[in-house]
Homo-oligomer: A and B are copies of this chain.
């Protein structure tokens, strides 16, 4: 049987391990962290995940869908909170029954690792840091717990090592590998709303949204009756309007009145927690590094620590494969801003598409990789663009009467023509229509709607 070496045991790496285990391949997974199942606290991103149709299909193929979905919280609509803290507007995600599921990253990751390990041909190597790929020798180079280099030979090397992928870095020095990274000057901070008298403090089965033009607050329910609350804003807003605990308080009071009352002391403590301090530091560093500064002292005082969290960035590359033995999937191939909730779903669909392509090619790796890349690059580019576009919606558009009308019209047309008129959000979230085709259809829908306007 062929052997696959997987870089990274995060969500996409672990799911790929499940797929290749099912296929009967020898699977080795290399992960720089300890086994998260043995850890008390898992550092790194905790931002809530919303599982939608593409992710569900990918989990279903390895028999994990129901188990995961049952551990989550269904979300059926967006609930937009007015500035006065009293008015609300409810926007259903789709037709009755269509919903997304708020799930816990860690729980999901653990379940998939356990699932993969059930097969005897699968082996996880934790605390093994992937360094690079030796292209000439077709080896994955890994540093083990004793700090020595291990050279892993495999028929296929899968880069599932996230946005800052070491595998991708090895490919990026080769001619013909197109690559771009783009930062947006926005960041995010997470907060929590605790249960109230043992119950959810807000309605649980909706996606709570406080859109305020330049910035936005969201809240998603967890199974333990808490909410994870995230504020997205330009760095300049963090720096100028939230630089002291007092400022943070009045900023929240002014803009997110009802959320503020539930968040309580949590708001004040935002800037006492290390991650937030770190973030405020990064925010001010970035604006100072790259924007016009005319004070030498300000420059000189700054330090320029690298940091890998709390910022929004796009990474894209083309192709996703190299020769007949390397493939990038998940964030390693296409890191996107988090505004469409499709980062994980797209990564999971990668695993499914890879599996389908291997089936179509009778496990011929060489054929599979170029065919996969051909298909998947344009879908990745499309969802990266859509994710950025959705930020505009979340920040502002949802408040506009024309947007609300469009949403209503969309759902109305969808009810009448369920096959031929699927709203953009529904195509992305509730179907497996390739993302690039969603983009094409969107152009068509916009045109039709503008004709409607004339008649309405």
Q: Give residues in A with beta carbon < 8 Å to B.
A: 135-136, 172-183, 185, 282, 286, 289-296, 299-300, 302-307, 311, 313, 319, 322-324, 364-367, 370-371, 373-374
Cα A305 to Cα B175 in complex, Å, equals 10
In the complex with contacts A366-B293, A370-B291, A136-B324 CB distance below 8 A: no
Min Cβ gap A233→B in Å is 16
A295 contact set on B, CB distance < 8 A: 366
Q: For the complex formed by this chain, how many copies does it contain in all?
A: 2
Contact B175 A286 (CB under 8 A): yes
Complex partner residue of A136 from B177, B299, B304, B367, CB under 8 angstroms: B304
Cα A172 to Cα B174 in complex, Å, equals 17
Contact A292 B136 (CB under 8 A): no
Q: Identify 9 new A-B residue pairs, CB closer than 8 A, beyond the known A175-B306, A179-B180.
A: A175-B286, A175-B307, A177-B183, A178-B182, A180-B181, A290-B370, A293-B370, A299-B324, A300-B366
Min Cβ gap A68→B in Å is 32
Contact A366 B304 (CB under 8 A): no
A185 contact set on B, CB distance < 8 A: 176
Contact A366 B180 (CB under 8 A): no
Min Cβ gap A449→B in Å is 29
User: What is the chain B residue whose CB lies nearest that of A174?
Assistant: B306
18 contacts between A and B (CB under 8 A): A135-B304, A136-B303, A173-B306, A174-B289, A174-B304, A175-B286, A175-B306, A176-B289, A178-B181, A180-B180, A289-B323, A290-B370, A292-B370, A293-B367, A299-B323, A299-B366, A300-B324, A304-B322
A135 contact set on B, CB distance < 8 A: 304
Min Cβ gap A87→B in Å is 37
Min Cβ gap A158→B in Å is 17
Contact B322 A289 (CB under 8 A): yes
Contact B324 A296 (CB under 8 A): yes
Min Cβ gap A332→B in Å is 16
A367 contact set on B, CB distance < 8 A: 293-294, 296
User: What is the chain B residue whose CB lies nearest that of A374?
Assistant: B292
A291 contact set on B, CB distance < 8 A: 370
Contact B175 A282 (CB under 8 A): yes
User: What is the chain B residue whose CB lies nearest that of A303?
Assistant: B136
A373 contact set on B, CB distance < 8 A: 290
Min Cβ gap A131→B in Å is 15
User: What is the chain B residue whose CB lies nearest that of A175?
Assistant: B311
Cα A239 to Cα B176 in complex, Å, equals 16
A313 contact set on B, CB distance < 8 A: 175
Cα A182 to Cα B316 in complex, Å, equals 11
Contact B366 A176 (CB under 8 A): no
Contact A292 B175 (CB under 8 A): no
Cα A319 to Cα B288 in complex, Å, equals 13
Cα A172 to Cα B87 in complex, Å, equals 45
Min Cβ gap A284→B in Å is 12
Cα A20 to Cα B176 in complex, Å, equals 37
Cα A330 to Cα B286 in complex, Å, equals 24
Min Cβ gap A212→B in Å is 24
A299 contact set on B, CB distance < 8 A: 323-324, 366
Cα A179 to Cα B181 in complex, Å, equals 5
User: What is the chain B residue whose CB lies nearest that of A312?
Assistant: B175
Cα A305 to Cα B176 in complex, Å, equals 12
User: What is the chain B residue whose CB lies nearest that of A371?
Assistant: B292
A374 contact set on B, CB distance < 8 A: 292
Contact B323 A302 (CB under 8 A): yes
Complex partner residue of A183 from B178, B289, B292, CB under 8 angstroms: B178
User: What is the chain B residue whose CB lies nearest that of A180?
Assistant: B180
Contact A181 B174 (CB under 8 A): no
Min Cβ gap A291→B in Å is 7
User: What is the chain B residue whose CB lies nearest that of A288?
Assistant: B323
